[in-house]
């Protein structure tokens, strides 16, 4: 699936944070979430075309820095992303990211983009796409445990794609819940601030867990999860970090993005390496069933995968001409003769007499 290189391939379209915010506002949050969701679904249906590898991670006691690459044979994409839970206490984002698309034929980049906002959008879109296939039909109420930076995006994606209109919210920090409720005013939700996770899940058909602490945690215990619910577990996303009690996993049908990565980073790191799980792309292609019975407990053990980032970048690239939300960066050297890179440097010194000539 080609992306079209710019007319001057030495200039690379760059989508800044300001551009991304304006693009989302110009098109509408719901439109963007639906568009990214469609791109993800389309790419998952051609899953077998993509290069796939667990993300390349550099872990430290403070957090993780990761590269997430993939290619469909025509377009290459990667995302650089960090995850540092301690950042919030220092006034910094827990997650930041940027990404790139490149033309496989030439190797030249065709777009560089911020992905802190875009990752939040694609994570929410992926959750809602999975719930289309796994959540109880007609679901209207979602519990959301963890009301930080991802929470509003999750709520809006589930409203846009599934029609969720009731939220039961809980966070260990009541200020986070208050922030979430204020931000979502005017979007048509009935919202309840809950005093505990147990209170939040009461009456919910979908339970989303999206906490940030880098540790083995038990956000949901087995007795909190009744039959017939769908669990959207997106907070467990690195080794040593989980949110669900093991007993919940043992009585759920578990769906994942890419098993080799999820077994390292997801909730299923608590289970034996050969424990059976189902791949979401196979549900989308109809190769396997998603939700089969009303009483079934389904679990989307999401850790985020490179193809989702590829899809989100591809969607944004497709909106550049329509929105004009980008600027060109002079990123690629363009000597008059490809082998004469040093000559290009010499000519720059002639064109800029205030600069010294190249010298040892």
Q: β-strands 97-103, 109-114: how paired? A: antiparallel
237 is catalytic: yes
- DSSP conformation class of 238: B
Q: How far apart are CA 341 and CA 182, in angstroms?
A: 55
Q: β-strands 64-71, 75-83: how paired? A: antiparallel
Query: Exactly one of 237, 253, 301, 309 is catalytic; which is it?
Result: 237
Asked if the 11-117+309-350 domain carries CATH number 3.40.140.10, the reply is no
Q: How far apart are CA 201 and CA 287, in angstroms?
A: 32
Angle of helix 151-162 relative to helix 29-44, nearest 10 degrees, comes to: 80
Question: Which DSSP string corresponds to 161-213?
Answer: HH---EEEEE-SSHHHHHHHHHHTTTSS-EEEE-SSHHHHHTT-SEEEE----
Name, in order, each residue with C-beta under 8 angstroms of 344's C-beta and a sequence gap of 6 or more: 333, 334, 335, 336
pLDDT in tens, the chain (360 residues): 556 555 677 899 999 999 999 999 999 999 999 999 999 999 999 999 999 999 998 989 888 899 999 999 999 999 999 988 889 889 998 889 999 999 999 999 999 999 999 999 999 999 999 999 999 999 999 999 999 999 999 999 999 999 999 999 999 999 999 999 999 999 999 999 999 999 999 999 999 999 866 566 788 999 999 999 999 999 766 677 788 999 999 999 999 999 999 999 899 999 999 999 999 999 999 999 999 999 999 999 999 999 999 999 999 999 999 999 999 999 999 888 999 999 999 888 888 888 888 776
Query: Taking a C-beta distance cutoff of 8 angstroms, is the pair 82, 97 a contact?
Result: yes
pTM of the model: 0.93
Q: What is the reported pLDDT for 5? A: 56
Return the closest-CA partner of residue 52 out of 231, 208, 257: 257
Domain boundaries along the sequence of the chain: 11-117+309-350, 135-304
Q: What is the reported pLDDT for 312? A: 98
Q: What is the reported pLDDT for 358? A: 78
What is the third-level CATH fold of 135-304? Rossmann fold (3.40.50)
């Amino acid at each position: 699936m080609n992306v079209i290189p710019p007319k001057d391939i030495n200039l690379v379209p760059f989508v800044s944070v300001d551009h991304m915010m304006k693009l989302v506002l110009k098109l509408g949050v719901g439109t963007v979430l639906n568009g990214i969701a469609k791109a993800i679904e389309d790419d998952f249906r051609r899953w077998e075309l993509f290069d796939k590898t667990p993300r390349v991670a550099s872990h430290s006691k403070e957090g993780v820095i990761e590269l997430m690459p993939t290619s469909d044979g025509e377009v290459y994409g990667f995302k650089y992303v960090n995850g540092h839970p301690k950042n919030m206490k220092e006034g910094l984002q827990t997650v930041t990211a940027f990404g790139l698309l490149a033309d496989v034929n030439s190797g030249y980049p065709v777009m560089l983009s911020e992905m802190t906002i875009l990752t939040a959008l694609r994570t929410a879109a992926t959750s809602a796409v999975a719930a289309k296939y796994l959540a109880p039909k007609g679901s209207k109420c979602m519990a959301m445990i963890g009301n930080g930076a991802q929470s509003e995006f999750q709520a809006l994606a589930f409203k846009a794609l599934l029609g969720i209109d009731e939220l039961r919210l809980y966070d260990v920090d009541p200020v986070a819940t208050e922030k979430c409720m204020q931000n979502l005013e005017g979007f048509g939700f009935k919202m309840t601030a809950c005093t505990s996770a147990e209170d939040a899940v009461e009456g919910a058909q979908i339970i989303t867990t999206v906490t940030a602490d880098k540790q083995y945690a038990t956000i949901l215990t087995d007795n909190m999860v009744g039959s017939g619910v769908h669990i959207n577990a997106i907070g467990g996303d690195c080794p040593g970090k989980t949110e669900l009690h093991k007993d919940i996993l043992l009585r759920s049908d578990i769906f994942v993005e890419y098993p080799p990565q999820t077994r390292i980073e997801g909730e299923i790191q608590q289970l034996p390496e050969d424990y059976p799980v189902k791949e979401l792309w196979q549900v989308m292609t109809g190769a396997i069933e998603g939700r089969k019975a009303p009483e079934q407990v389904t679990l989307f053990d999401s850790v985020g995968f490179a193809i989702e980032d590829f899809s989100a970048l591809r969607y944004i690239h497709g909106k550049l001409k329509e929105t004009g939300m980008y600027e060109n960066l002079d990123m690629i050297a363009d000597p008059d003769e490809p082998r004469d890179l040093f000559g290009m440097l010499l000519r720059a010194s002639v064109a800029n007499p205030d600069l010294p000539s190249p010298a040892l």
